[in-house]
Structure 1
């Protein structure tokens, strides 16, 4: 019995040793506490298979592919791009109209008061219809209400292509001026009518601050990276460039390695 038991153990050991040599080893492929799959590599030294991995930097894994928020890129959203083109920019036109069929009250002059907010709600609804055909129109922002029937100083908000901004802006200005030749908004119960000849339209040029604001838009540059990007016009196109970009006015130079933007700023890796 002792000899048979020894032979059985020896035979089992040989099988396990043989199996260990022929079956490729794998690293752990379990999921983390956040249910994001970890990296796992299997196989011999001659070939490896990479199991789909979790996305970094708030990327979304859809059907095995990471969809990255701007400016992140890479298979796992692991790297930030150094230049991001901004296709459209926000522009404004300053407008003043006098609403002649509405009685002004002193409370309306107080920004944020109930009287102010009630009038602004109606004004926005009416003007969204009235201004709808202006190229690039996205909305209005009321700045102040003052006495004189009701004088409404407001901004007309536009979204225009940067590459042909001047032509687009002028077209919107002309359309707006023409629209204000109509003395009343829609014909429903909240119709607003304007004093003829009292409307004023003023162009607002794009400023460097306006361009910088485009790089503070989270859909262009993630919040945690915004301090390391600034606006630059490159070949008549607007870009947000990082401190690692050669287009940056203040580029970060690496003696060793390549510059990468991280949430802590530029680093050489």
Structure 2
């Protein structure tokens, strides 16, 4: 019998909405010699919704755990129907080799799309394998690396070794269980670990040739895949990280609320870890809880928590008023200075060289008219010499004696 191997490839296309507007009727043909009219075309790229959301040509329709214009925000809390008292979380670390996915450097970046897609697929497929073990909650990937040729049950750490891409994957993961505290926890942990290993080996043996089947995780399991034995977790946070959406797990914490486990984030209101966004709202993003300030078109905000805001309108009006006030002050100062200089220059030119004025006529501030005949007759203004030829020096001058008069 010849085995037929098929390789499934997925082609992703991006839809584009095109709107075409033609020349309206009655506009007439183009002028003679002019190039023909072409339809006006505007291409609008389709909205890309995040986290599994779909676009209905109006808005993004988000999955239950997400919201926002592009489904970019995760819900701020998750409720678990389990009492706090008596509930414990246990985890065991195992390692498997996945042969139908090739190793790439993108799988080292938890924020990359390739990493998130693989984690989502791995969790779904491992739930089918581990899900029948009582108390199973989920898996958490601890490390993804290129596969090795032989492990012999030993744990291999790669710190600086660089192996080529395309060699399959070695996935070290943590299996998380929820159980009730009891005196026989050690025996229960051992029993659950043995069941996990049994499930892995049975799945690997039953898969056959699945190296080209991307709908499953094609496993190769060593004789001893356990890296770390099952132990009790010090907190219930692992439960919340399993219930949280992929890519947001690290931002959820377990909180005891009315003797029930509630998974909260820093965006959950009225908790000890609530992030206070003074003039904004907290949203859980892929980068963590962040404050989004209100009315950013009207205000400037200080700090990452929108703690202080400054009105852009008030600042603009104040700036305009300040500029006008400074301009008026400068104008008045320049005007006063110019007026003083004008008076000083006018007084100097009138008092010291009045006789140099053209025409030889000068009017004093008291209203008296002085005439320089020498200048009028064509004499030199720079060599002024008074003429006494017409003065009768023999004529006696009588000056009345001054007398005191009583005031009226």
Q: Which has the larger radius of gyration?
A: 2
Normalising by structure 1, we get a TM-score of: 0.45
Normalising by structure 2, we get a TM-score of: 0.31
